[in-house]
């Protein structure tokens, strides 16, 4: 059976009270299925609310949108892997394009964060993707490979707890998604990079303006192991419907 991961990135939306209302609507409308996992990435202040709401549901978990690589200390405003885990997180996004392009996160930072997530026993979801200028210059695969190499450097094998999300920057929050064929081409290149490191089973998600209208068409492409969704995951009714019906 093909198993798919639906990941919801709420970005800077939904505090604890809104999250309680969201989760009660979502859980009333969505019945768990063995072939689908649903991962929620709320803002840090709502992690505990999500993790409490999904407790006992094997196919769901809460994850942090970002972690800092040090486990503790004088890093005002940051949260570490162990702190996120204490709030109930079981996964962490790393290198989301907004972290890279709004907050100036570097490739080297993503490497430290992947390692920090693993040592806190969190599943890292490493986001990679090119800007429009890089795509137009024909540099997509070069950029994505550079991002993979920086975040998952040798020595050692690629950890099986890792998930990759291919998210072209030009498709995030713009309403312009990659075509299934374009996404598949990059997924194949990522998979081949992973295969060379004995990690061909690593899940690769697509993200970038996925919504109720295009999810089924994108997921019909077998290279996609799931989707990472921002805007269209903010409405619990729509998100429940997308997870339910998003597979052709
Ligand atoms: C995201 O935040 O990772 C994302 C893909 O956003 P959107 O679905 O809104 O493009």
Ligand 1 test: best mutation among 209, 214, 238, most atoms within 8 Å of CB?
Answer: 209
Tell me the per-residue pLDDT of 20-69, one tens digit each, with 9 for 90 and over: 999 999 999 999 999 999 999 999 999 999 999 999 999 999 999 999 99
Question: Is the CB of residue 204 less than 8 Å from the CB of residue 164?
Answer: yes
Ligand 1 pocket check for 129: Cβ under 6 Å:
no
The answer on pLDDT for 2 being more than 90 is no
User: Is the CB of residue 98 below 6 angstroms from any atom belonging to ligand 1?
Assistant: no
Q: Does residue 229 have its Cβ closer than 6 Å to ligand 1?
A: yes
Beta strand pairing status for 4-9 and 36-41? parallel
User: Catalytic: 167?
Assistant: yes
CA of 36 to the centre of ligand 1 (A): 19
d(CA 155, CA 110): 16
Is the model's pLDDT at 238 over the cut of 60? yes
**Phi and psi at residue 207, to the nearest 5°:** -140, 145
Q: What is the pTM of this model?
A: 0.96
Q: What mean pLDDT is predicted for residues 186-207?
A: 95
Binning pLDDT at 50, 70 and 90, where does residue 156 land?
Answer: low
> Does ligand 1 come within 6 angstroms of the Cβ of 153?
no
């Amino acid at each position: 059976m093909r198993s798919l991961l639906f990941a919801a990135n709420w970005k800077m939306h939904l505090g604890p009270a809104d999250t309680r209302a969201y989760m009660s609507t979502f859980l009333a409308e969505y019945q768990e299925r063995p072939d689908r996992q649903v991962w929620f990435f709320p803002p840090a202040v709502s992690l505990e609310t999500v993790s409490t709401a999904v407790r006992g549901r094997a196919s769901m978990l809460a994850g942090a949108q970002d972690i800092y690589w040090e486990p503790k200390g004088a890093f005002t405003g940051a949260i570490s892997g162990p702190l996120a885990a204490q709030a109930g997180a079981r996964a962490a996004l790393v290198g989301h394009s907004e972290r890279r392009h709004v907050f100036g996160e570097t490739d080297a930072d993503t490497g430290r964060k992947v390692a920090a997530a693993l040592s806190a026993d969190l599943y890292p979801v490493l986001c990679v993707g090119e800007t429009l200028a890089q795509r137009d210059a024909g540099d997509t695969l070069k950029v994505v490979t550079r991002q993979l190499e920086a975040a998952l450097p040798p020595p050692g094998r690629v950890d099986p707890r890792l998930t990759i999300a291919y998210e072209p920057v030009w498709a995030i929050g713009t309403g312009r998604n990659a075509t299934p064929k374009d996404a598949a081409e990059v997924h194949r290149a990522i998979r081949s990079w992973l295969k060379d490191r004995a990690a061909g089973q690593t899940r690769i998600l697509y993200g970038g303006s996925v919504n109720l209208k295009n999810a089924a068409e994108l997921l019909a492409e077998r290279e996609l192991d799931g989707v990472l969704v921002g805007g269209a995951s903010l409405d619990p009714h729509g998100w429940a419907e997308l997870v339910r019906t998003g597979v052709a």
